[in-house]
Every structure is written in C-alpha cells, then in structure tokens.
Amino acid sequence: MIEILKYQFVQNAIYSLLLASLACGIVGSFVVVKRISYIAGGIAHISFGGIGLGYFLGMDPILVTIPFSAGSAVGIGLLNRFTRLGEDIAIGILWAMGMAAGVLLIYLTPGYAPDLFGYLFGNVLAVPPSDLWVMFALDFAIILSVAAFFEYFKSVSFDETFANVRGINATAFYLFLLVLVALSVILLIKTIGVILVIAYLTIPAAIGRQFTHSLTRLMALSAAIGALFGLAGFAVSYFFDLPTGATIVIVMGAGFVAISALRRFAMRVATAKTDQEAG
Amino acid sequence: MENKCVVSMEGVYAGYGQENAVEDVDICVSDRKLLGIIGPNGGGKTTLLKVILGLIEPTKGKVSVFGEAPKKSRGLIGYVPQQNTFDRNFPISAFETVLTGRLKHGRLFFSYGKEDRDAALQALGEVKMLGHKDRQIGELSGGQLQRVLIARALCTKPRMLLLDEPTSSVDPETQVFFYSLIGKLKKKISIILVTHDVGAVSSHVDELACINRRLFHHGGIEEGLNKLDEAYGCPVRLLTHHRPHKKAVAND
C-alpha cells in the first residue's frame, strides 16, 4: 500500500485530487446552494470545445480552454439573463454544440489523434507536473476571488433582488460565479474529465449540506469530503485496475446515497425515541 | 423634495417587454405616512414597487424617490420581498440574513464589523426574534421568517419601508404583531404596503392606492374602498376569497 506512494505519477495523482477537491469544495458549495448544477454541467461540456480548439491551434489545450470556458460561462450567463430563450434550452443547445465543436476541431487537426478518452473521462495517472502548477494557480485564483468577495457572493446567491436593491450588481457577481465554475471545471478536466466533472461540483457539497447550516463550514466540509472520496476512489481504481474518474464518481455517489440514508435513519430513530419518552 | 412627496410618480408607464403592466400612474407618498397599495394579481402592484426600487425603468413618465432618481435613493429604502423570492433551504441563519442588510457595495475583503452586528441584533430585537437568531431560516415558521425579513430591512436604517404582501404567509399572532410594529415605525419613516388583504388595509393604512393597470384611486380610505369594485372590474369579494370572513369589511 505504502510502496505505491513512492511513484511520482501516484504522487501527482494525489496532489491533483487534493487540488481539485479544494476548488470544488468552495465553488461546488455555491453550485449546490444556488442550484446551478445544470449550468455548471453545461459549462463543463462546452469546455470540451476549448480542448478541441487548443489542438486545432497547436497550443496547450488546457491553457486555451481557460479563456474559452470562462468566456462561455459569461456567454451562457448573459443568455440566461437577457434572452427569452428558456434557461434550460439555451444551456442544452450550447452543451451539445461545445462538445460537437471539440470533436470536429480535433478531427480537423492534422497529425495523430490525441487521447480524447482522457479528456472526457479523466486520467489521473497521467497528470504531468506542469498541469499541477496550472491547477495550483487556478486554485489560488478561485480562493482569492471568493475571499475577496465572499459576502457579496453569499448575499447574491441567497437573495438577488434584495442585493440589487442594496446597490450590489447581482448580475455581475452571478457571471463572476459562473467564471469560477469554469475555472473549477478546468482544474478537473485532467483528473476526472469533462463528462464527470459535475459529480465533483455537486456530490461533496450535497453531502456536506446535510451537516451544516453555515456556508463557510459547508465549503471546508465539501473540500474534505471531496478529498476523502477522491482518494478512496483512486485507491479502489488502483488496486482493482479500474478507470479512475469513473470509479471516483461511483464511490462518491454511493457515499452520498449511504450517508443520506443513514442520516435519515438516525433522524427517524431520534424522533421515535423522543416520541417514546414523551408518550 | 418637491411637494413633500417622498415618492412621486407622474404619468408613469412601466412593464416588461412591449406590454405595460402599469399605465399613466400618478402617485405621491407623503413623509411618515403608511400608503396601502391594493389591487388584483397581475394588476401591476409589484411592477410599481420595482419602479420605486429602480429595478425597472419606466417606459414613460417621471419618478423620483426622495427627490432623486430611484437608483440613487435605493440606499434609503428598506425592502421586504415576498417569501418566494429566495430558497429557504439556503445555509444561512436568521442573524446572517439580517446582517446582509448591512452589506455595503464595492469593497474588497468586506467583512461585517461590530457596528453591523449590533445593528442586526437591535433589528432582531425590534421584531422579537433574538431568541431564534441562530436558527437556519428554513427552520422558522412563515411568520418568524417574515419578522426576520423585516429586521433585515430595518437594519439598513431606511427612511422608507417597502413591504410586498407581508402578511400572506403569516400566522394571526404575527399579523397582530406586524401591524402594531408598522404603527410604531410610521412615526419615524414612510411605509408602502402592497397587499391583498382589504380588511387589514382599511384599518391600518393612512392612504390607499387601488391599482389595476391604471390607478383607480389615490387618497382616503373610505372613497378608496368604495372604488375597489371599479378597480377590480368585479365585486371585491372575489378578491378576498381566501378570507371569506373579511367580506363584510370590504363591502362596508
């Protein structure tokens, strides 16, 4: 068990999972409490277009995807706000178009075909040190942004109209939040892939919110839960030789179901007990 | 401040898209008075509030709030929205909710200071909710949540309070408390109360405005109630079908 930690690629995998959990704990909490998981899913899939564009231009796909996804996030947010197209329809259309654009651009790129599967479903064992630095920088940007504007993000996520009346530009912070979602997506692409990203942005916070009513504690808890399940899933995938991204998602999802059920059971027992004592 | 109106509207048309939800509305809200705005669903009450708050621009006409454009005067208005505008499962306590009333825009690394906390506690005390300050808002009853929302508006230290259907999901006890609180507050600030509740309006407000797209009445309560049938385009008792026992009051 301990020997595998000596391998550089295993160490990198663990670092990347921890870095991803940190961003997802913070941004995922907002995704869950503001109920924008569908938009987050859309942003994740659209970012595949950025990967394709990167290959097509012969540049680093991840670096190209950063502005591409951030731009798409703002675009999707503006479409949601200012057009009469139903919110879900706009996202549905862009979701598919982003993926399709990615596939076409990679197809049109001369030379050898890159490992598409890795971008779609992640390949945590193939994260190079240079990507770790990019992840580190993205984490830093996310934490700094949320720290600088925490009360605004919180207030706008809770009650946009009231925030507006208080002179706070709710739309700007909404778009800012979507950009942070885009940055988190990029953090996760190499680890678990664009298709499975949404699990990291929703499941840890969905588990965490069952245990706290404080947004800051929810962030810390979600990051810890993400790290725990991420590493557990990684270990399972390593020893049973399974695809890592998918294994992590299944472990997280199973954890969510088990914890929710246990909690409900515990609450029922507690109520039964008080009823008994009362009656 | 022209004509002593804290809010003045002249020939205001406003709405969403092409359709005007309100047309040709003239309103003057006097200082330290309680104005009740009443009218059917879809009659433009909320649109009117949004115009006052500067959330939508009128397509035609003039609006001023405390002698300025609505957007400029926003800071002087305490807004109590309807309870369906936010998610009650949001991880936020009663105290934190009230604190958001103290949020000042445009500051990096903003955090609430002692002054803000004191103001929030004082506001919670004013609505008798100090005992529930640490509870998550979803754990509160409709009436308790309403008090929290009023506290949030109060801790902005407003010169005018704007209440959108404040008694719609509230227990009778809170209603009594609510109207006595409003009675106290209007000695210090102006209040606009949008409501369905004809009975409550007739016994608590100073002035009444009846709106159904156009303004049908603006002024005293007696004449206003007589004109309600006209404003609604149908007998008023239809309006009060949720509370049949109030019929008598409306038809008085």
Give the domains, in start order, of chain B with CATH numbers.
Answer: 2-179+189-240 (3.40.50.300)
Size of interface A-B (CB pairs under 8 A): 77
ipTM comes to 0.89
Confidence of residue B226 (pLDDT cuts 50, 70, 90): low
- Neighboring chain A residues of B90 at a CB cutoff of 8 Å: 33, 157-158
> Where do the structural domains in chain A lie, given as residue ranges?
3-278
Identify the band that residue B246 occupies on the pLDDT scale cut at 50, 70 and 90: very low
pLDDT at position B73 over 90: no
Which residues on B lie below 8 Å from A214 (Cβ)?
91, 93
Mutate: best of B18, B72, B89, B103, partner A, most A CBs <10 A: B103
The minimal CB distance from A218 to the residues B74, B77, B91 is found for B91
Neighbours of B173 (CB within 10 A): 10
Using the beta-carbon criterion (under 8 Å), do A163 and B100 form an inter-chain contact?
yes
Alpha-carbon gap, residue B125 to A225, rounded angstroms? 38
Spell out which chain B residues touch chain A, with contact meaning CB-CB distance below 8 angstroms.
Answer: 53, 55, 74-75, 77, 79, 81, 85-87, 89-93, 97, 100-101, 103, 105, 108-112, 136, 152, 156
Note whether B47 and B56 are within 8 A (CB): yes
Q: Which residues on A lie below 8 Å from B157 (Cβ)?
A: none
Report the mean per-residue pLDDT for chain A: 92
What are the CB-based long-range contacts (under 8 Å, 24+) for A252-259? A252/A199, A252/A200, A252/A203, A252/A204, A252/A226, A253/A199, A253/A203, A255/A203, A255/A207, A255/A225, A255/A229, A256/A203, A256/A206, A256/A207, A259/A207, A259/A210
A 10 A CB-CB count for B180 gives: 11
Q: Residue B120 in 3-state DSSP?
A: helix
Q: Which of B79, B110, B111 sits opposite A162 (nearest CB)?
A: B79
Model pLDDT for residues A66-88, shown as the tens digit of each residue: 999 999 999 999 988 877 766 77
For A96-140, write each residue's pLDDT tens digit. 999 999 999 999 998 877 778 888 888 888 888 989 999 999 999
| A102 Cβ neighbours under 8 A, 6+ residues apart | A48, A49, A50, A51, A52, A53
- Whether residue A72 contacts residue A90, with contact meaning beta carbons closer than 8 Å, is answered with no
pLDDT band at B46; cut points 50, 70, 90 = confident
- Which of A155, A214, A217 to substitute to test the interface with B, most B CBs within 10 Å? A155
Q: Of A65, A120, A131, which Cα lies nearest the Cα of A249?
A: A120
* Residue-level length of chain A: 279
Tens of pLDDT, residues B168-184: 778 888 888 888 999 89
Stated pTM of the model:
0.89
Q: What is the pLDDT confidence band of residue A208, given thresholds at 50, 70 and 90? A: very high
Fold of A3-278: ABC transporter involved in vitamin B12 uptake, BtuC (1.10.3470)
Q: Do A215 and B152 touch (CB under 8 A)?
A: no
Question: Which residue out of B46, B105, B156 would a mutagenesis test of the A interface target, given it has the greatest number of A Cβ atoms within 10 Å?
Answer: B105
Q: Of residues A28 and A189, which shows the higher confidence score? A: A28
Q: Which residues in B18-40 are b (16+ Cβ under 10 Å) and which e?
A: eebbbbebebbbeeebbbbbbbb
- B110 to A214: CB separation less than 8 angstroms, yes or no: no
- A82 touches B: beta carbon within 8 Å: no
List the single range of A84-88, A164-168, B128-132, B164-168 with lowest mean pLDDT. Answer: A84-88
Q: Closest residue of A to B152, CA-based?
A: A162
Chain A residues in contact with B101 (beta carbon < 8 A): 166
